[in-house]
């Protein structure tokens, strides 16, 4: 049985537990935290996931592109390799989820078409191609005419494109719902509370204080709170991962029944289209449901989640330039999320310098893509005690040579500072 040890807080004097019965406390219930909780629970570990609103952060505003290749233009080789690794895990990950829950997550393996709108955009695409091919990726280059053969709704002005056939997509809202059900079905317990402090015992992270003042203890604490991971109180100096909120706005449009019966594909497109339009990047992700997601802005405005007139206008302008037919689509909604950005745009996955604390954050634009590899390598470590080699390039400690804090050894359970 899954037991969460919650004890009433008595000022700073919180009872110690030498053998907490919870194996893993996951702080954060986005796709990353939920996937970790699910994969860990599948191994028979006692899991608690703490999140006041699971699935409501960056996950809720994610488009769900599984496009490590197209994304490579923005990434280092290590990030690209990690994305490719995670993409290869997706078929089994989704099949397992569907077996466990009976829920679809809208998974499609339909490829990506990267397109360029004008000749300057074509130069950007050529650079992307060079980088992608240097990573050993096979790309198919298309003329403007071939782009329109592949996607008839593209504007005649589109100059050229690149097809990658392995890419896919998923519906992040469906994914989060399925992961939550699978995690709970596997024995994980969801606590709908905010974590107010990580607590330590004898120099080791040993639990977290919740909003109601109780403390949840666990042998391992996994910090998967997205951009908020940087601000979780109680961590020693240098341990909190240097993540920052990078706002992204997306729009969800919808094809009508009349369009579908006129033979147009659901969401107007057959595959994800990523384009550069007069220097501005935009993507369009169709779903079987008829939804077409248009994204995304990138804004450094701190923790601001307002959908703005300017964000909508920019997305609609660029999407309409590439695919004029979107003007006929119904507007479903617009949301903004805060991605966890890092100084080098790479995620932070693996052991921290504070014993007992595992980091799983900083996934920036790729949280949905990287959920399988993040969850499975962490679940593997929890089973074997051996850190995954894939983590090497993504340790939290890479941002500073060492941390004084790891040397501190408080003997009483307390905030870890």
Task: Give me the residues that bind a copy of itself (CB under 8 A), please.
Answer: 251, 253, 256, 306-313, 316-317, 319-320, 326-331, 334
d(CA 68, CA 218) in angstroms, rounded, equals 34
- Closest approach, Cβ 297 to a copy of itself, in A, equals 11
d(CA 194, CA 44) in angstroms, rounded, equals 25
Nearer to a copy of itself, 273 or 329 (CB): 329
Nearer to a copy of itself, 249 or 342 (CB): 249
| Residue written as token pair 């594909």 | 265
**3-class DSSP state of 192:** coil
- Closest approach, Cβ 331 to a copy of itself, in A, equals 4
Write b or e for each residue in 51-79: b if 16 or more Cβ atoms lie within 10 A of its Cβ, otherwise e. beebbbbbbbbbbbbbbbbbbbbebeeeb
Residue 390: closest CA among 362, 351, 341: 351
**β-pair partners for 371:** none
Nearer to a copy of itself, 92 or 304 (CB): 304
d(CA 411, CA 417) in angstroms, rounded, equals 12
- Closest approach, Cβ 298 to a copy of itself, in A, equals 15
Nearer to a copy of itself, 306 or 407 (CB): 306
Residue 32: closest CA among 340, 361, 336: 361
- Closest approach, Cβ 282 to a copy of itself, in A, equals 13
With 0-12 CB in 10 A as exposed, 13-18 as middle and 19+ as buried, what is 20? buried
- Closest approach, Cβ 236 to a copy of itself, in A, equals 35
Nearer to a copy of itself, 334 or 369 (CB): 334
- Closest approach, Cβ 144 to a copy of itself, in A, equals 23
Nearer to a copy of itself, 104 or 314 (CB): 314
Phi and psi dihedrals of 51, rounded to 5?
-165, 125
Contact 226, 338 (CB under 8 A): yes
Instruction: Say which residues have a Cβ less than 8 Å from residue 41's Cβ, sequence separation at least 6.
Output: 47, 183, 186, 187, 188
- Closest approach, Cβ 52 to a copy of itself, in A, equals 23
Nearer to a copy of itself, 264 or 378 (CB): 264
């Amino acid at each position: 049985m899954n037991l969460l040890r919650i004890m009433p807080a008595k000022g700073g004097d919180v009872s110690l537990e030498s053998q907490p019965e919870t194996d893993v406390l996951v702080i954060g219930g986005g796709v990353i935290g939920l996937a970790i909780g699910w994969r860990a629970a599948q191994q028979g570990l006692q899991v608690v996931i703490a999140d006041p609103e699971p699935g409501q952060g960056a996950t809720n505003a994610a488009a769900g592109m599984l496009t490590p290749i197209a994304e490579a233009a923005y990434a280092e080789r290590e990030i690209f390799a990690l994305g490719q690794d995670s993409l290869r895990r997706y078929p089994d990950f989704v099949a397992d989820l569907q077996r466990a829950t009976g829920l679809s997550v809208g998974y499609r393996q339909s490829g990506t078409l990267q397109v360029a709108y004008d000749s300057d955009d074509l130069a950007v695409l050529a650079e992307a191609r060079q980088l992608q091919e240097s990573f050993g990726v096979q790309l198919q280059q298309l003329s403007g005419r071939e782009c329109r053969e592949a996607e008839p709704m593209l504007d005649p002005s589109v100059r050229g494109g690149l097809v990658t056939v392995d890419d896919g997509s998923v519906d992040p809202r469906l994914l989060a719902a399925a992961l939550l059900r699978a995690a709970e079905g596997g024995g994980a317990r969801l606590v709908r509370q905010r974590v107010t402090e990580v607590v330590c015992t004898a120099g080791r992270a040993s639990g977290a204080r919740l909003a109601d003042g109780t403390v949840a203890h666990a042998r391992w604490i996994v910090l998967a709170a997205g951009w908020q991971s940087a601000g979780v109180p109680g961590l020693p100096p240098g341990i909190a991962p240097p993540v920052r909120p990078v706002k992204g706005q997306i729009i969800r449009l919808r094809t009508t029944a009349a369009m579908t019966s006129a033979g147009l594909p659901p969401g107007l497109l057959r595959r994800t289209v990523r384009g550069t339009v007069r220097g501005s990047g935009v993507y369009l992700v169709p779903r079987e449901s008829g939804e077409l997601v248009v994204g995304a802005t990138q804004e450094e405005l701190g923790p601001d989640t307002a959908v703005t007139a300017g964000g909508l206008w920019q997305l609609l302008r660029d999407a309409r330039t590439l695919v004029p037919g979107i003007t006929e689509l119904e507007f479903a909604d617009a949301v903004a999320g805060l991605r966890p950005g890092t100084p080098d745009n790479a995620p932070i996955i693996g052991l921290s310098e504070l014993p007992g604390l595992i980091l799983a954050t900083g996934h920036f634009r790729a949280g949905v893509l990287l959920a399988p590899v993040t969850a499975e390598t962490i679940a593997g470590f929890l089973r074997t005690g051996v850190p995954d080699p894939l983590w090497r390039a993504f340790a939290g400690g890479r941002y500073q040579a060492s941390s004084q804090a790891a040397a501190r050894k408080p003997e009483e359970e307390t905030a870890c500072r």
